Chain A
Amino acid sequence: MALHFELVTPAKLVRSEDVHMVVVPGAEGEFGVLEGHAPFMSTIRDGAVQVYKTDGGAPETIEVRGGFAEVGENGLTVLAEHVES
């Protein structure tokens, strides 16, 4: 089973898909999230979220501003105030 990744802004649900890994720009440094990650919550700084669809594939980057990331049983949720794509 892959990691379920959701990217949500106030305006809409930007992404909701299963991916291999996501690298999130946390306030205290970047962190990568794979499936089965322990429950975790962090604020994020402005930067790029890198989405790896497959293992070893090229990442897709999404610029986000303001928000936080939450890892729970049902995957990773990034709540961002603005998304530039």
Chain B
Amino acid sequence: MGMTAVEIILARKSGKKEVRPGDVVYPDPDFMMIHDGVVMGAKRELDALGIDRLAAPDKVVMVTDHDVIYGSARAAERGAFNREAARLWGVKNFFDVGRGGHGHIFPMESGMLLPGMFYFDNDRHATNAGAIGAFGFRMGTEISRVLATGTNWVMVPQSVRLKITGKLRPGVHARDLGFHIATLIAQGALETDLDYRVLEYAGDLDQFSLAARAALCSSPTEMRAYGVFFPPSQEILDHAAARAKQPYTPVYPDADAHYEADLKLDVSALEPQIALPGGVQNAVDLAQVSGKRIDHAFIGSCGSGMYEDLLAAAAVLEGKRIAPHVRLFVAPGTEESVKRMAREGLMQVFVEAGAVLLPAGCGPCNDAVIGPVHSGEVSISTAANNNHGRFGAKDAELYLGSPATVAASAVAGKITDPRTVSGNW
């Protein structure tokens, strides 16, 4: 019997001919990532044990993306601690403030993360790696063991296959599809439990760009998937080949691989979706909540922070102003996207529209360190999730939509179908 894509990656990185779900393996990662919010905890934990040397400092990637512009003295202190930690540990791949951007976007964009790779990450949104055909494995606080020893135990997860048929209609975004998939799973219409599973996409996937694939990694993660995987298309292979600075081997699942569940979904009739407050799995057709007045809007996050997402929003915003009672925050995924926005005129579109540009990174989606909502306010965003209190007051109403939907809603001041406004959406 063959192996799924992630089983092949884990076998290869663990020096094994084959692995099966439930096996415990110790993969040798291509790199290991730790973000600014957890460096202090890991450093103090290792220091207390007398561990002051890392197993492979050259493989460690430190990223400042969760609290980029220090809205508090505590954040500034943490930033200083992190820089000293990088120096003491000898970590050269330190993408500090203004140097890289979102840790789950810039490595794919820049060619650091390539098809077939495996890496450890403290953060659960490492699942984004599946967009480029790689596997990122969340360690949480156990990232300290990875830093100290170079690896950690991984129990090979079960894989679930979802075959996509049909094409999304114009104006319907991959993020809409992600909300829809989460909702079908929550309702039992797609029969699976994603807890610690890998969701492997199959079927009509050529329609999905790298940004669309990242968007489709997001919602399954909120449904507790531990990995998401797209077999790389020619477009993805070309992207990787143009940027790679080291050898890599793309991975595709074996034809006779075993999946815990084998699901199918026709996406050709899908409408733009809105995830109602409380979770990505609360999606309804946008028409059901069209006209709901909003106060706050945000475009960005690991699921919708790539240049193409910004482009989709800018196409709606071009030549328009956001409603007077709305504040719109835009957090580009990467510093490269910020430069490109300036070069290609998107910056002008956002600023002229009245949006506030945030530094590349997580934006409000990280614990409301920036641009939060107040009690009773209504927000629409592309955040990773809209669990109550995700970015501010617990009784604020947090809706989710695609970048185009958020932009159209910010202009109208109420939840609005992007297909009803002018623009090249």
A binds B: no
